[in-house]
Amino acid sequence: MSTTPSDDQDAANETEVQIRRAPKYSAFIIVGGGIGAIITFILTAIFPVDPLVGFGALFGYFALYGVTAGVLVGALLALLLDRIGLRRSRPATVVTAPSDDSEPTVYVTDEPAEESPAAAPDEPGPVATPEPVAPQPGEPAPVEAPAPEPPVSPADGSAPEPRP
């Protein structure tokens, strides 16, 4: 028992998207600033300190330059990794299936929807969408869970946040 929605409904339910990994800019900027401060501390400690100025004041003054340079290098590295991730992006099709509740169920497929060779150019090819299952009389209505996503390890090494 298969039903095919109309062409207008297919167009409204399918969206082509690009899936890619993007770095967290704030993490790169903070780590870059920290590394810049550490390098500034090491360079300040290597050279002799003027007794009239003191180590703290000298380090603070040069830290302005070191932290700024570290933040700049971190931001440039994040931009470079973002460009690499953009080139490695892959297309996917998002299909939203209407459900009984107010929020639609979203299905993501890794491959874009392809038109069948036998279909006319004006007609889209067949799309495999899961059909909602009607509950039997006396049974509670099934609850649809979102499609599971693969675990992603963040670049900063922290544990992934649980989804609500």
Do the domain assignments include residue 46?
Answer: yes
Do the domain assignments include residue 8?
Answer: no
Distance from the first to the final alpha carbon of the chain: 34
Of the chain, the percentage scoring pLDDT greater than 70 comes to 51
Do the domain assignments include residue 82?
Answer: yes
Q: What is the pLDDT of residues 28-70, one digit of tens each?
A: 999 999 999 999 999 999 999 988 999 999 999 999 999 999 9
| Structure confidence at residue 92 as a pLDDT band (50, 70, 90) | confident
Do the domain assignments include residue 57?
Answer: yes
Do the domain assignments include residue 102?
Answer: no
Do the domain assignments include residue 127?
Answer: no
Do the domain assignments include residue 54?
Answer: yes
Average pLDDT, the chain: 74
Tally of domains in the chain: 1
What is the domain extent for residue 50? 25-87
